[in-house]
Structure 1
Amino acid sequence: MRIISGTHKSRKIITPKNLPVRPTTDMAKESLFNILNNNFYFSDISVLDLFAGTGNISYEFASRGTEQITSVDQDFGCIKFINKTAEAFKMPINTIKSDVFKFLEKTTLQANIIFADPPYSFSEELFTKIPELIFQNNLLLEEGLLIVEHSKHTDLSNLIHFSYSKSYGANMFSFFEVN
């Protein structure tokens, strides 16, 4: 895994083999950030990274100048790894060890970009619950984006606030906006 752009461009991050993760591929990540780069000034936004895993997406935002990043994951090993990496790279990433659904039910934290990368094996019901909770609790700021990563076998286009989706190999990103 490597950081694509920004102050830490090309830095490789070696993740422990025992983490229960499936990091976003470099190709998909680069394509995603090309889209975001055209719509946001990274230094002016806040980011909520759900199912953060290795912290791959959080590091990319931090490298590009985002200073308000919150990474949420329920796995202690993932949180520990993100904290260690963020400290080593001097990145402003705040971590929260929590079940993402419980976190979304209770938090009042709002963000310009909310990125969710749940396990691809999630049921359609669980995938649906992510945008439902985010919009029900007004966690996405106006003109912000919720991005849900999933396999191409999952279709989220029928959900409220769905805007569009992009496919990159086996990865798919569905974008949601406040209407």
Structure 2
Amino acid sequence: MSRIIAGAAGGTTLASVPGSLTRPTTDRVKEALFSRLDAFEVIADARVLDLYAGSGSLGVESASRGARAVDLVESDGKASEVCQRNADLINTVARRKVVSVHRSKVESFLDRAQDSVRWDLVFLDPPYPLDEPALAAVLAKLLPHLAEGAVVVVERSSRSAEPSWPDGMERFAERKYGETKLWFAEPGVEETGEEADAAKDAGPEVSG
């Protein structure tokens, strides 16, 4: 049974999705993940997106730790109902609507997102049957909606290959916890015209 680990609602037991509809992040992995995110200082006042949300535990944990707004995206009916129950828990504690639930396929949700919407922290824990080209397509759809300095966390089986990052998104860390692997990525920093010209003028590096 999952719980909120820390923050305003720390210790609160979360509703779980019945059966094997989802593959929830274990509390051990979640604790390690959020320890790193706290070190990155990306949670407080962040706008958070939890894709393939399952029970919504990662998004709700972010809300408990001070995220400004959280969107949970889940296509399965039973799972989205559990997301709503867990969202209601944290919204009650916060006394305002911090967490919103969207019953939608991830691709459709990103296609509908307004151009001006930018998220600071994004979780993707897709079902293992989702193949790598499909995951790469989702990451490409996500890229235009990342804020400067955003962090993207992809959770996969430790036996899965590294995701194919779209141009403009770069992996900066990875961690393995038993059968789970976490990939951390961020939007790449584009060179300005002056920086590109300077690099061109400098010429190629020559090893002696």
TM-score for the superposition, normalised by structure 2: 0.79
Aligned residue pair count: 177
Residues 128 and 156 of structure 1 are in contact (CA less than 8 Å); yes or no, is this contact kept in structure 2? no
Matched, 1:110 2:118: yes
Residues 16 and 112 from structure 1, CA distance in 2 versus in 1: closer, same or farther, beyond 3 angstroms?
A: closer
Task: Tell me, in whole angstroms, the C-alpha distance in 2 between the residues paired with 1:16 and 1:38.
Answer: 30
Runs of 4+ in 1 over 6 A off after TM superposition: none
Q: Give 2:187's aligned residue.
A: 178
Runs (5+) with no aligned partner, structure 2: 189-208
* Counterpart residue identity of residue 87, structure 1: D
How many Å apart are 1:93 and its aligned residue?
0.6
How many Å apart are 1:164 and its aligned residue?
2.4
Match of 1:97 among 96, 103, 106: 103
Residues 4 and 30 of structure 1 are in contact (CA less than 8 Å); yes or no, is this contact kept in structure 2? yes
Residues 15 and 85 of structure 2 are in contact (CA less than 8 Å); yes or no, is this contact kept in structure 1? no
Q: Which has the larger radius of gyration?
A: 2
Residues 49 and 119 of structure 2 are in contact (CA less than 8 Å); yes or no, is this contact kept in structure 1? yes
Q: Give 2:68's aligned residue.
A: 67
Task: Tell me, in whole angstroms, the C-alpha distance in 1 between the residues paired with 2:87 and 2:176.
Answer: 29
Q: Give 2:84's aligned residue.
A: 83
Q: Percent identity?
A: 28
TM-score for the superposition, normalised by structure 1: 0.90
Residues 17 and 79 of structure 2 are in contact (CA less than 8 Å); yes or no, is this contact kept in structure 1? no
Matched, 1:144 2:150: yes
Residues 156 and 64 from structure 1, CA distance in 2 versus in 1: closer, same or farther, beyond 3 angstroms?
A: same
SS in 2 for 1:12: coil
Residues 16 and 174 from structure 1, CA distance in 2 versus in 1: closer, same or farther, beyond 3 angstroms?
A: closer
Match of 1:126 among 121, 134, 140: 134
